[in-house]
Each structure stands twice: as structure tokens, then as C-alpha cells.
Amino acid sequence: MDISSFNQIIASRRSIFPKDYEAGKIDNQIIWQILKNANWAPTHKMTAPWRFKVYSGKGLEVLGKKQAEIYKKVSLKEGDFLQAKYDNLAKAPLRASHVIMIIMKRSKDVKIREVEEIAAVSCAVQNMYLTTTVYGLGAYWSTGGITYMEPAKRVFNLNEEDRLMGFFYLGKKKGINVEGKRAPIEESVEWVDNDKF
């Protein structure tokens, strides 16, 4: 592959939301390729802290129900339950072809800082994002909904020290093109190549 094609893939990667997915299921073989590419993310001391749960078909209903119930439990306790939000959480996964739960699993044997494990999982998610770009699929990383709700860990069998890092939504993309927005990289770089800085 030539570098300009590679640069183009990086720059054209966009978050595409479920409203821009059309009906239809992505081939499971493609999902496996996306996951294989996630697995090539860098990982300090080879802990490979990423774990994924893939929801598709009836599994999307299961995920929707589980997350709506988690929300209900938390919001009734807090006294801010909204039926509309409950319904929305139950339905949200159904608009995707697949939803991949993103988990950071702490190693029991290798001592490594948590931030590095979160970074490794984030690299894995970027690999997934880029793969969906090349396949022309829609995808986005969601950290909304129940991501940070305390009971979610228990419901999804995570250990206390693990982290639920959100959900990767995937669908067949409608024929849309979303423009990317970034400030020039020069605004975020300090470059030191002499002693007069």
C-alpha cells in the first residue's frame, strides 16, 4: 500500500452514528477481521488487556434489556428515572448490526499501570475504527448509557478492577459522507531541535 492511501484512510475515518446505518447485517467474517486487527494493538508487557463481547441478532435485544434494567436500578435509587430514557436504552442496540462491548481486563500476574492498559485498549479500538473505514462501514465508540454505571460490572461479569470502556456500534453505512474537523496539528506540537527554544 502506498503512504498516500494510508494517510487518506486515517484522515477519512469518521464516527458514524446509528441514524446513518441502513438495515442489514454485516458479515460475521468481517467482524472477526475487525477483531483480529484490534488484537494487533500495542501492549506493554504483552498483557493484551482488551476483551470484547460481541452482540448481534437476538443478542442485541439482550444487551438492550440488560442496559435498560441497569439504568432503571441506578436511576430509581437516585430518584431521576425517565421512562423515555429506559425505552431508548432498550432500543439503542437494535439500530446496529453488531455492538461490541469494550472491556479493559487487568492482568493478575503482570504489574502495570492502569492508564497503560486503558491506552492499549484504546489503540485496539482505533484499529477497529480504521478497519471499518476501509470496509466502508459505519461505526462509533459510545461511552454513554450504562458505561459508567456501577452495577454494569457485575451484570456483565467484570471483576472490580476491570473497566467497562463503552460500546463499539457497527452498521452498514448509508451513502453519506461526514466531513472531519480538526485544528491544524501545529497547534498541538512543540518541536525542539536546538537549544534556543
For binding to ligand FMN (CB under 6 A), which residues are involved? 14-15, 140-144, 166, 180
User: 136 vs 180, which CB is nearer to ligand FMN?
Assistant: 180
3 state DSSP class of 53: strand
Q: Which three cell numbers stand for residue 181?
A: 474537523
Q: How far is the CB of 125 from ligand FMN (least distance, A)?
A: 7
- The CB-of-132 to ligand FMN minimum distance in angstroms stands at 11
Q: What's the closest the beta carbon of residue 126 comes to ligand FMN, in angstroms?
A: 8
From 93, 78, 65, select the one nearest 155 (Cα to Cα).
65
CB-nearer residue toward ligand FMN: 12 or 75: 12
Give me the least distance between CB of 20 and ligand FMN, in Å please.
Answer: 11
- Closest to ligand FMN by CB, 57 vs 144, is 144
Which amino acid makes up residue 7? Answer: N
- Cβ closer to ligand FMN: 107 or 142? 142
Radius of gyration of the chain (CA): 19
Can you state the percent helix, strand and coil of the chain, rounding each to 5? Answer: 45, 15, 35
Instruction: Give the CA count within 13 Å in the CB-facing half-sphere of 132.
Output: 29
Q: Smallest distance from the beta carbon of 81 to ligand FMN, in angstroms?
A: 21
- Encode 29-56: b = buried (16+ Cβ within 10 Å), e = exposed: ebbeebbebbeebebeeebbbbebebbb
- Which CB, 15 or 107, lies closer to ligand FMN? 15
End-to-end CA, the chain: 38
Please report how close the Cβ of residue 7 comes to ligand FMN at its closest, in angstroms.
15
* CB neighbour class for 177 (10 Å; exposed up to 12, middle 13-18, buried from 19): exposed
Nearer to ligand FMN, 43 or 129 (CB): 129
